[in-house]
Every structure is written in C-alpha cells, then in structure tokens.
Amino acid sequence: MTLKKSTGIVIIGGTACGPKASARARRCDPRAKITLIEQTEEISTATCGMPYYISGVISKRATMLQRNSAYFKNVFDIDVLTGTRAMHIDRKSHTVELMTVRDGQSSKIKYDKLVLATGSLPAIPNLPGKDLKGIVTLSRLTDADTIHGLVTTKGFNNVVVVGAGLIGMEMAEAFSTKGLKVTVIEALDRVLPALLDSEIAFHIEKHLKQKGVNVVTGQRVTGFEGNNKGWVKAVKTADQKIEADIVLLALGVKPNISIASEAGITIGQLGGIVVDETMQTNDPDIYAGGDCVENINLLTRQPMLAPMGSTANKHGRVIGTNVTGGKETFPGIVGTAIAKVFDYNVGRTGLTEASAIADGYEVITSLVPGSEHASYYPESRDILVKLIVDKNDDTILGGQVVGTGDVAKRVDVLAAALTFGYDVSDLANLDLAYAPPYNSALDPLHHAANVIRNQRSGLARPLTAAEVKRKLDNSDDFILLDVRSPEEYKTVRINASQTRLLPLPELRSRIDELPKDAEIVVYCKTSVRAYQAQRILSGAGYKNVAFLSGSISAWPYDVSMDWKSPLGRLK
C-alpha cells in the first residue's frame, strides 16, 4: 500500500483565523505538515479584550494570550514561526519568502496549500502632526502595552479619542475608568455612526456625557499640535483646539492585503481579498479568511467587511476543513455587533434604517421600550428595541437594541431571524423562553413586531421623535397629549407649549375636552398607553390622531425635570 504524500500547509497570520485554521486542519488531517507564521512574538492573542486589559478589568496580561507556540507544537504538532514576516508569495513555485524580524535573515518555505490570515491595519489619517509621540492606535497587544504605560504616566490627564466606533466607545470607558479626562471626536453626526441610527445612538451619547465624557460630533480633526519635546499637546478641528496628552486614533481598520495583492490575488471593491464560499481565492491553492477578506451580506448579497474575531474564527474552521480535502462553506454574515459602554449595552444586526433606504428598500420601523424581564420581578433593567422591516413583504431587515438590560439576547434572536429570512409574524410568534426572572410574557421583540403588524393593519399610527420634534418647533396648531399620571408628569415630561395632560383612565370621561378637528399626538412612558389612547380617540371619531413612537422613554431630545405647576384641565 502506498501512503499518500502529506500535505504541506502554510498559514500566514497568528491572531484568530490563522490559529483556528491550523488547529482544524490538524484535526482533519493528522499527517499534514502545518506551519503557522506570525510576525509578532505572540500568537492567539485576545485582541477583542484589549480595552478591558487597559481599564484593569482584566488584570493579568497573560490572560490575553490564549495559546502559545509550545502548546501548538505539543498538542497539535504545528510548527510556529513567531517574529517572522512573510514578504513575498511565488505562486508558480508554491513558495513564500520569509524574513525574521529581529535580524532580517531571509528564507523560503514551500506550500501545497497556503492560507492568508493577515488581518487588518489601523486607519491612520495623513494629517499634520500624526507622528507625534503620544498618538497611538490599538490593534495589537503591544499597542495595549504602550497605552497601558501611557495612562499611568504622571502628568498625563487628557485623552482625545478620534473616532466614535466600537473601539472608540470601549476605550472611552477604559480611559475614564483610569481617571483620565476623555473627549471623543466624531466626524459624523452621532456616535457609532456605522452601526446605529440616530435615535439609538443618542442614548449612548447621552450616557457618555453623564459619565463625564466630552462628546464632539460633526467635526473633523484637521491636525495635531505638539510641544518642544515632540509629544502631542492638542488636537485641532475646524472649530476648536482640544488639549491632549494622549490621542487614540480609532478610525477603523482596513484589510491587510499587500502581500496578497502583490501576488496577483484578486482584491475586491472594498479593499479586501475576494474569496468564494469555501474561502478559496482566485488561486485554487490559496485560501484567505479573517479581517483581510470581504464577506457576503446575506441580506443584500453584496460584499462587506467584517473585522470581528467571531467571523475570523468561523472562517478559520472552514479553511482548516477545506485545505485538508473537505468542502465546507461559509454562506456570509448579517453584520452583528455589540459593545459595552459604561453601564449601557448596545448592539445591532442587519441593516440600519439609513443603510436599508440607501440600498433601495422601502422600510417600516418600530421603536419599543421594555424591560429585560418581567417588570414586577426585582431589578428589571430597561432596554429599547428598534426593528427595521421591508415594507413590501414584512421581511426583517435589521434591529438595534440599547439599554442597561440584556441586549445580547435580543440581538442574537434577531441575528437568527435575519439569517433564516423571518418576517414580522414569524418574530411575533417565536416561542422564546419565559419565566419572570428571564423575560416578560411577551418579549420586547414580540412587541416590536406587533407594533409593525398594527401599523400594517391600520390600527396604529406612530410618529417618529424627529417628526414630532419638527411639529413642536414649527407649529402650535396641534396637541401633544400626555396620558400618564400627574405624578409621572411631575417627574419628567416633554416641555412644550403644545403639551396637555390627560391621564388615560380619565380619557373616556373627559374626551369632549379635546376638539374633534384637532391634530393630536399622544405620548406616555413606553407608548403602550399612548397607543391605547390613540385607539380610544380613533374609535370616538377623531380623524387626525397619532402617537409618539417609543414615547418619552425613547425621546432623544431634552426633557423637563423641574416642577412648576400642573397644566390642569384642557380648555
């Protein structure tokens, strides 16, 4: 019997996708010769945990190292070359030219199958002063070590975070936790602009400010100013100069594709390596995965970038199977992300309302406040759900959840619903786990779906906060009807001249106080009573009645919390 020649598998990149691909390949083929190449001195680093290492939540650096070279050799019989940079791929000879980082020594390694898991690089703007000391990025554990040292430097008090994406938000908390004064600058009009619509992002921005973070949106950084020792001392925008001892550039990442591009591997329109569903490139012997590749969006069927450790690990498993003769596929993603920002949790999956409209969808949305579990069970925390649906066929397009309560549970349910093409009726009837410590009888997701079903049937007529705000600013010819109790009204309210207080239990008996020809917008705490009031008024013949979507719990503008006098009966 002739033994099959063992396959030589070379994997470039040792953070997430690469180690996963190598371990999977070994499990699938016990005889393959597998070599993992990493340009830093460490592999399998938990880069997603770096903000928590900097803040001190993760106290030991060693915790960030999931596996080391000895483990891969002893357990998997995988050769790991750390401190080694892949310089050039010769596809014709099936070789990779290597260089040791420490001494510049070059060598070559031959492959039968090659895996590119080269990850991503931080985006660094070409601005005056960008090379000043104290201006840092965060993409590797060595970056975290640098920042860890800076935040403990005596006399360093002011931090500016440029960019309000996921890393920017997590690091704003980390810096603040270390006692530093933090400013976040974002060029767009809201925090987490690529992930959230404005009415959800508002709650994160408001919470940041409550925690002492200075948030500057709608301004671009124009440069950095240094002192006579070469350290940064200020960040400049078109409108102001902000003092800074440390500047974190958190402007996102771009795929690290230079070695692939130089070798003639196809690069896509978004700048990532193009792969098919088996993670194979245009070269049948070269596979790629992780941050360096483009993914398929399962909703739009268009390419998208997804620099997430979770996606990279899924890629790695598929690649490890296929480089050893398997035929596993990776269908794509729906764009799920989540973050902790101080006491708030925020997540999203699928399309935002803005991106759905940009992609040509006609959408219908709901905005539903709720509790993470039964409100009568102790310590229930609040969440706010936004659901985005295709108006033409009721298919779910996306969702966003924010609050102090359990956000991940709802985002994960929505991610599954999107993946399997659920519509709002499917979501409304989904059999979710229920007991008072874990949920209410109807989850906030059920309510969000039912609000849209009520809109579709003509029973509900919600208006967005932006629509109501425009009415408040431009017209006195309507009534903003608050149907909460006087006690609730005293605590917090939308302070506008158009506001009238009429508690819901009194609405039927006092309905004649409302003029039949008036435009009426109703609000309460979460829209439950407001919707009921709308139905009462509609049933009584009022033709121009709507309610504020999400009501005061989701109102993204200023509210009044000072008490002067009740408005009393309607005139």
Chain-centroid distance of CA 221 in Å reads 23
Coil, strand or helix at 348: strand
Region of 157 on the Ramachandran plot (φ > 0 left; ψ -120 to 50 alpha; else beta)? alpha
| CA–CA distance, 569 with 549 (Å, rounded to integer) | 25
- Amino acid letter, 294: E
Structure tokens at 570: 């309607």
C-alpha–C-alpha distance, residues 384 and 343, integer Å: 14
Asked if 501 and 486 count as a contact pair (C-beta separation under 8 A), the reply is yes
Q: What is the DSSP letter of 157?
A: -
- How many C-beta atoms lie closer than 10 Å to residue 41's C-beta? 13
> Could you give the angle at which helices 69-76 and 17-28 cross, rounded to 10 degrees?
10
The C-alpha atoms of residue 525 and residue 536 are separated, in whole angstroms, by 18
Alpha-carbon Rg of the chain, whole angstroms?
Answer: 27
Given the residues 17, 28, 48, 292, select the one marked as catalytic. 48
Strands 344-350 and 246-249: unpaired
Tell me, what amino acid is at 455?
Q
Q: Coil, strand or helix: which one is 235?
A: strand
How do beta strands 545-548 and 462-463 pair? parallel
Pairing of β 113-116 and β 286-288: parallel
* DSSP single-letter state for residue 291: G
- Per the annotation, the verdict on 524 as an active-site residue is no
Rounded to 5 degrees, φ, ψ at 44 are 50, 45
Alpha-carbon distance 236 to 540, whole Å?
59
Q: How far is CA 100 from CA 43, 73, 105, 120, 140, in A?
A: 16, 20, 5, 21, 19
CB neighbour class for 284 (10 Å; exposed up to 12, middle 13-18, buried from 19): exposed
* Chain centroid offset of residue 564 CA: 41
168/151 Cα distance (integer angstroms): 16
Amino acid making up residue 475: S
The per-residue b/e assignment along 362-394, b for 16 or more CB within 10 angstroms, e otherwise, is ebbbbbbbbbbbbeeeeebebbbbbbbbbbeeb
Q: What crossing angle do the helices spanning 309-322 and 17-28 adopt, rounded to 10°? A: 30
d(CA 521, CA 462): 9
- Residues catalogued as catalytic: 48
